[in-house]
Structure 1
Amino acid sequence: AAVGLDVAELGRLAARAVHPARMSGRCAVFAKSDLIHLQQRACPPDEIAAGLCFALARNYLASVCRGQVPQPPVLFQGGVAANEGVLRAFRELLSLPEDALIRPAAYKVMGAIGAALIARDSPLEEPVLLTDLVGRLGQHVSDEEAAVVLDPLQMPPVTDTAPAPTTLGDGVYLGLDVGSVSTKVAVISGDGRLCASAYGPTAGRPIQAVEKALAEVLGKLPRMPKVLGAVTTGSGRHVALHLTRADEAVDEVTAQARYAREYAPEADTIIEIGGQDSKYIRMENGRVTRFAMNRACAAGTGSFLEEQASRLGLDIAKDFASAAFRSGSPASMGNRCTVFMDSDLVHYIQRGRPVEDLCAGLAYAVARNYLEKVVGSRPVGRRVLFQGGVARNRAVQAAFSAILGKEVLVPPHPELSGAIGAALLARDRGAMRQGPVLGLEAPLGKTATRTFECRGCENLCEVQEVTVVASEPRRAWFGSVCGRFERGEENPVPPDDAFAVRERLLLKDRSGSGAPHRGEIAFPM
């Protein structure tokens, strides 16, 4: 539906595409994000269709076959076998000739035929009417739904927002957060109040996103500001650093923790959920003591929630939370993969469950998924702060409060928490800038961009290398899942073979010759 094609047409287009686009197959939500980026870059529809088919086939081979190569002849059955593009993808990925990948005539109902054959071989002691079987199934489903009872969500208190300063004073501080999904800019005054901000999609084009966000902020300020300090953060922080000539680039955890310390110095746990990733940060006395991140599953992120709200015909920003708070009996959707949650949602829709119950159930699902997949066995403290774009959804905030049994605070402008934290770090530096911030106080410099495919692992990420043209050209990268490019300012971190590293660590103390040294044992006297 996202490419405006039915399944049959998508398969026909994919079968004749010359260059399939590279897309993520690990999750439907991430695949949709890749699809949107490809559409914004005017990628031909047939290449996008083929990319989807190849992503599905690669994911199947990686997650189901797990390194075992299917030997011909291979039988391809199930509903997806109708897709000519997926059929082509399996043939090419497995290097199979036409007659080695077989699609039976009854491919859509092979599972049902198999079940009927098993029933024939093991008949019931007494025949049962089909109507009786249907009744039993309906009762079983009702019992399952009644087994899990979720409390109605309670509206949390409204967070006070500090008023914007009327003047810019002697100067301002700039924070720029360039993420894989969105780009945020925050300009704060000397006393830490937000003067102006911008929030927009990155769409796989960080340079254009930074330029647009800075122009938007400039239009909201009463006059041209004097920038006293500038810090960048996010996965595109090094690109933004060189592009704008900011003072420093910091990681997202540092920026999020800084904003939390400003708003609630006593906070000991930070929940941060963005568009495609989420973070857990544990703090003691204002310092980060441990953290965890999740980039592998989209079920507990903003993209998943927005996708499901769209399915229900709701605006995620305007209608979702209010509908969730009207629910008297939230639907239980577990905390599993987004694909399974999606199946649960379809199941409830088919059974006529009210939209209000589905919204409340989705809010619970996001919170439970985060607590199980990101937090796990790590401790959740007494003072919990909820940051990131999803924190604007008050239903998710209420779900966290209900599950944890404690108040969960949301600071002002949670969607800008990384950018504001970066701006506060710029203020902490104290040093006066030398030269303008490009894009705000002066035009952005010229850049040269090259896109290539990283072959360091099976993800095969499409990475952008951005070179800022200047008297001393600087390079930065954007787009890798593992961050091996973003972690090095000027040179990427070389990829490591995990097994080779393990072998090296295990054997590094062995001399390889002579009798092994057994060491000494000392006894206290």
Structure 2
Amino acid sequence: DCTHALNKGVAKADVAAGLTQMMAQKIIELIAKSPKKNALIIGGVSQNRAVVNHLYSSFENLTIPDEATYFEALGAALYALKNEIKTLDKNSLVLEGKSSFSFHKDLKSFTDKVIFKSIEKNEAKENDQVILGLDVGSTTTKVILLRTNDNSIIASEYLRTNGDPITASIECYKSILSQVNVPINIIGLGVTGSGRYISGLHAQTKGIINEIIAHATATIFFDEEVDTIFEIGGQDAKYTYITSGVPSDYAMNEACSAGTGSFLEEAAKESLDIDYRDIGEIALRANRAPNFNDQCSAFISSDIKNALHEGLTKDEIVSGLVYSICLNYANRVKGNRPLGKKIFMQGGVCYNKAVPIAMAAITGKEIIVPPEPGLMGAFGVALEIKNRIELDLLEKESFDLERLINRKVEYEKSFTCAGGSEKCDRKCSISLIKINNKNYPFGGACNKYYNILANSSEETKGNNLVRLRQELVFEKYIHPLQLREDAQTIGIPKSFLTNSYYPLYYNFFTQLGFKVILGNNPEKTGIDQKQAAFCYPVELAHGFIQDLINKKPDYIFLPHVLEIHNKDSNFRDRTC
């Protein structure tokens, strides 16, 4: 959510303020049913003034002791003094026993299943015609300079986005400028990645390309026989299937970051104090790898702690962690989609060689890692811009690195979208960004303001595939029957997999003689009754149940779907 907000031009301060308010609200919700009015705040967050200020509005008396950050340790020490507990030999605290984990085979056994490709970088020549390819990701931003006459990379950079896509883009331009010591002609600038719209606006380019096209273009350039792309980035993980050189199927992780590079980095650092650059070497040293939960980052973190308590080595735990993100990808991103004859695996996480090796172990297939796997998006978008220029789908332009570096961006006061001809009532907050003394509206849930920026009059109403799917599931594929007036009613909440299986449920109960009532309005009173903080789909489920309670059916059908049979794969399809 933070990444999407930043990519839509929301100021960092507003995002940070939203985070503190959200955290305080979750705390208030957890203890809302308690009649107590006096609260003691301990722990590291007690030092966050913004969170504490929000809490003051809900409690009559808040106390933050001086010892708040080490309160539990102080309590343990006081308990030891009071009870005259003697110091124990730390070795006596650990008993060797059977581990609660099953184990994967060591990664070293699969190194021959992965091919790592390499490529030589060339140097710029005077008056080269070049195209700049920029990949603005949620975690990192990448750039390459592509020479058009031989498609060689003559300069590149890979750095952290740090929540500021425009500043990251400018730093990339600075790096490219420092690497090129002769005059060059930049005839095109392509931008891809989650931050492509805002960085594309700053660059004043029409060459904005989605990641699927960019990565597929780069892949086909290196090997026309590749039909499957695994891509794991900082917060996104994607699967692409290619037919005749064109992406024909695609999937990505939705809300979960357990199978991504940022989670791998954070888990290794926070739980094991291991730098992300050392993960690959450490994982490959292990003689076995514990089988961690692959469904949720919170559960994986818990597994890591349990493994430490059981005395597993850091090498083993890191190896298990690498396996877990690949299992998460296989189960939750790829799912039952096909594995082709030739698989490319790319994204910055592949600089950690243990990850593609783990993927080879899980899939049983040979994995090919292309040259500079983290730059494939930037390389692909540059190639795509070149192709479009050659096909007269895009005009040559002239871009100057120094102008791009010095182009200032100012954030004006945001406004609320009135909805326009669509009569939309979402009331999106729209950022107003000033570039070269001109204001640009930016953001919102739909493409309305992007189309204005792109001078596009494209009618998008008929292209709303989400709306089309809803019509298919909840209207076209249900078959109403003439039932008795006094037929009993059964309510079904429009939550979770009901959005896929509603035709089955509806037709089944209708055949049995029930009138089906759909709970489709997420009532706020229901959401407010949740006992703890949940993800958004679970919160909506509470609201849908309240809607059904208000509609008073005779029965409520609440299916619990744990696993879905997958006939075409050895992997499980397990719901969260």
TM-score (structure 2 length as normaliser): 0.61
Does 2:105 correspond to 1:150?
A: yes
Decide which of 109, 114, 129 is 1:171's aligned counterpart: 129
- Contact 1:186–1:198 (Cα < 8 Å) also in 2: yes
Deviates more, 1:255-264 or 1:168-177: 168-177
| Aligned CA distance change for structure 1 residues 60 and 375 (closer, same or farther; 3 Å) | farther
> In the TM superposition, what is the alpha-carbon distance from 1:359 to its structure 2 partner?
1.4
Whole-Å Cα distance in 2 between the matches of residues 374 and 425 of structure 1? 26
Q: Which amino acid aligns with 2:274?
A: L
Q: Name the residue aligned to 1:428.
A: 387
Q: Name the residue aligned to 2:534.
A: none
- Contact 2:186–2:400 (Cα < 8 Å) also in 1: no
Decide which of 144, 147, 168 is 1:186's aligned counterpart: 144
TM-score (structure 1 length as normaliser): 0.67
Q: Which amino acid aligns with 2:440?
A: R
Indicate the structure with greater strand content.
Answer: 2
Q: Name the residue aligned to 2:205.
A: 246
Whole-Å Cα distance in 1 between the matches of residues 413 and 254 of structure 2? 22
> In the TM superposition, what is the alpha-carbon distance from 1:235 to its structure 2 partner?
2.3
| Aligned CA distance change for structure 1 residues 394 and 351 (closer, same or farther; 3 Å) | same
Q: Name the residue aligned to 1:15.
A: none
| Aligned CA distance change for structure 1 residues 388 and 361 (closer, same or farther; 3 Å) | same
Q: Name the residue aligned to 1:199.
A: 158
Q: Name the residue aligned to 1:401.
A: 360
Q: Name the residue aligned to 2:440.
A: 475
Q: What secondary structure does 1:176 align onto? A: strand
Which blocks of at least 5 consecutive residues in structure 2 are unaligned? 62-71, 73-93, 477-576
Superimposed CA distance per residue, residues 267-307 of structure 1 (whole angstroms, 9 cap, x where no aligned partner): 11111111111111111111010111224111111111111
Does 2:433 correspond to 1:466?
A: yes
Whole-Å Cα distance in 2 between the matches of residues 454 and 307 of structure 1? 36
Q: Which amino acid aligns with 1:182?
A: T
> In the TM superposition, what is the alpha-carbon distance from 1:405 to its structure 2 partner?
0.5
Question: What is the total number of aligned residue pairs between the two structures?
Answer: 424
Superimposed CA distance per residue, residues 387-425 of structure 1 (whole angstroms, 9 cap, x where no aligned partner): 111111110000000001011111111111111111101
Taking every aligned residue pair, what percent have the same amino acid on both sides? Answer: 28
Q: Name the residue aligned to 1:280.
A: 239
Whole-Å Cα distance in 1 between the matches of residues 129 and 38 of structure 2? 66
Whole-Å Cα distance in 1 between the matches of residues 134 and 120 of structure 2? 21
Counterparts of 1:204-215 in structure 2, within 5 Å, are 204-215=163-174
Q: What secondary structure does 2:290 align onto? A: coil
Deviates more, 1:426-435 or 1:294-303: 426-435
Q: Name the residue aligned to 2:289.
A: 330
Whole-Å Cα distance in 2 between the matches of residues 59 and 395 of structure 1? 38
Q: Name the residue aligned to 1:513.
A: none
- Contact 1:238–1:476 (Cα < 8 Å) also in 2: no
Q: What secondary structure does 2:229 align onto? A: strand
Whole-Å Cα distance in 2 between the matches of residues 360 and 211 of structure 1? 37
> In the TM superposition, what is the alpha-carbon distance from 1:329 to its structure 2 partner?
0.8
- Contact 2:107–2:357 (Cα < 8 Å) also in 1: no
> In the TM superposition, what is the alpha-carbon distance from 1:452 to its structure 2 partner?
5.1
Does 2:22 correspond to 1:55?
A: yes
Whole-Å Cα distance in 2 between the matches of residues 352 and 205 of structure 1? 41
Whole-Å Cα distance in 2 between the matches of residues 202 and 83 of structure 1? 25
> In the TM superposition, what is the alpha-carbon distance from 1:469 to its structure 2 partner?
2.8
Question: How large is the RMSD of aligned CA atoms in angstroms?
Answer: 4.8
| Aligned CA distance change for structure 1 residues 90 and 507 (closer, same or farther; 3 Å) | farther
Whole-Å Cα distance in 2 between the matches of residues 364 and 90 of structure 1? 39
Q: What secondary structure does 1:171 align onto? A: strand
Does 2:349 correspond to 1:383?
A: no
Decide which of 259, 276, 279 is 1:316's aligned counterpart: 276
Q: What secondary structure does 1:467 align onto? A: strand
> In the TM superposition, what is the alpha-carbon distance from 1:217 to its structure 2 partner?
0.6
> In the TM superposition, what is the alpha-carbon distance from 1:353 to its structure 2 partner?
1.1
Q: What secondary structure does 2:440 align onto? A: strand
- Contact 2:187–2:399 (Cα < 8 Å) also in 1: no
| Aligned CA distance change for structure 1 residues 183 and 425 (closer, same or farther; 3 Å) | same
Q: Which amino acid aligns with 1:150?
A: K
Whole-Å Cα distance in 1 between the matches of residues 297 and 198 of structure 2? 31
> In the TM superposition, what is the alpha-carbon distance from 1:231 to its structure 2 partner?
1.4
Counterparts of 1:266-305 in structure 2, within 5 Å, are 266-305=225-264
| Aligned CA distance change for structure 1 residues 505 and 274 (closer, same or farther; 3 Å) | closer
